[in-house]
Structure 1
Amino acid sequence: FRNFDVIYGYNAAESYALAIAHLADRIKGGKAFATPWPTDDPGLSRQERRELQTLLANRGHPIGEIDGMIGANSRQAIQAEQKRLGMAVDGRPGQKLLTTLRAPPPGR
């Protein structure tokens, strides 16, 4: 994941970082992807990633700087919320999680 984060820091597009990291793995003899891209849950724009980080920070997760860059702290917070919500725990910031976290808590 550290290599992915470095590549992602250069160009904050999941598809770009994933493609470059996968290309590097393939060049060194790695296998093709074992799981297809989760096309049923579109990714987030940089503004939406900032919003997601804000929502996670407001729930007490130690995000650090709200910058729209999904690093280790953000991924851990995403995984914690995915687990709490009964979602697949993959640490991926997507529209489904953002939409769920935008909704007011029950009883409000």
Structure 2
Amino acid sequence: MTTAADVLTLLGRMDDSDLTSVADTALPVVTAQVRAYTRDRGFSGDQPAADLDAVILTSTARLVANPENLRSESIGEYSVSRQVIDGWTLAELAILNRYRRRAR
């Protein structure tokens, strides 16, 4: 199961204690979203299947990298555009949809 340390490792920020608390807060939220999307399929108790755990890891990493969900930021002449969380990525949906129950 994904941990805050896994998220920070993926982001290359293992020593950032501020991000650890953000990751600790974000992980249960993203896990709940994955669980809701799949309607609990792919979970054995609290343990997600390995591919669902990968979705939890990547989605949490995006949230932790930009918790304010800012599109861009500028300071003087410096400007940066950020990835905004608008939902699951196409790769994540490919995994999630394997577990999702669909209405018939």
Larger RCO: 1 or 2 (CA < 8 Å, sep 6+): 2
TM-score normalised per structure 2: 0.32
